[in-house]
Amino acid sequence: MGLVSSAEGTLVWGPAHQQRQLLAAVVADAITEVPTARVASIDPTLADTAAFCEAYDVAMEHSANCVVVAGKRAGEARYAAVLVLASMRADINGVVRRHLDVRKISFAPQPQAVALTGMEFGGITPVGLPADWPVLVDTAVVAAGDVVVGSGLRSSKLLVVGADLGALARAEVLDLTL
C-alpha cells in the first residue's frame, strides 16, 4: 500500500466544530480559530507520526509535528510551540533559541508539556495552547496545503490548511528547519 499524495489518507474526516468530543477540551474551546478544520478518529496506539502515516497512508510531507520547547532568560521561563512538517527537522538550538531570546532551550519534559497544554502527549497541537505562548510555524507548513496535526488527544487527528495555522493569532511564520 503506497502513500497517497493528499493529507486525507484513508481516514474519514468530518467538521471539527461538529465533533468536539473528538478534541481535547482546550482544543474544542479554540477550534473556531480554524473554522475549516476537520477531524478523524484514529487508533491511539498509532498516534506517533511514523506509525500514523504508515497506517493511514498519509505522506510525511502532509503531517506536521507540534513540539513544546522551554527556555530561560534572566530566570524567567519561556515556552513556545514549534510546528514543522514531519519530513523535516526543526533547528531548535539555533533559529528557535535565538528567536525566543533564551540562552538555553530544550524540549519541555513530557509531564510538564501535558500539564501546561491540557493535551495528551503525542496529540499536542497549535490550536488551544496557552494564550501567552508564541506558536512558531515553519514556512513549509504554511506552503504544504492540507496538513494533519494533533487534536489534543491521541485518539484523533485534525486536518487543516497549513496557511490557516500560520494565521493563528499567536503564530509567527519563520524558516525553522535545518
> Domains of the chain, with CATH numbers?
14-174 (3.90.960.10)
Tell me: the pLDDT tens digits for 89-112? 999 999 999 999 999 999 999 999
Beta strands in the chain (DSSP E): 14-15, 38-41, 64-73, 76-85, 104-107, 135-138, 146-150, 156-161, 171-174
Q: How much is the average pLDDT of 71-75?
A: 90
**What pLDDT sits at residue 13?**
97
**What pLDDT sits at residue 89?**
95
Residue 1, pLDDT > 70, answer: no
**What pLDDT sits at residue 2?**
44
Q: How much is the average pLDDT of 113-127?
A: 97
Residue 4, pLDDT > 70, answer: no
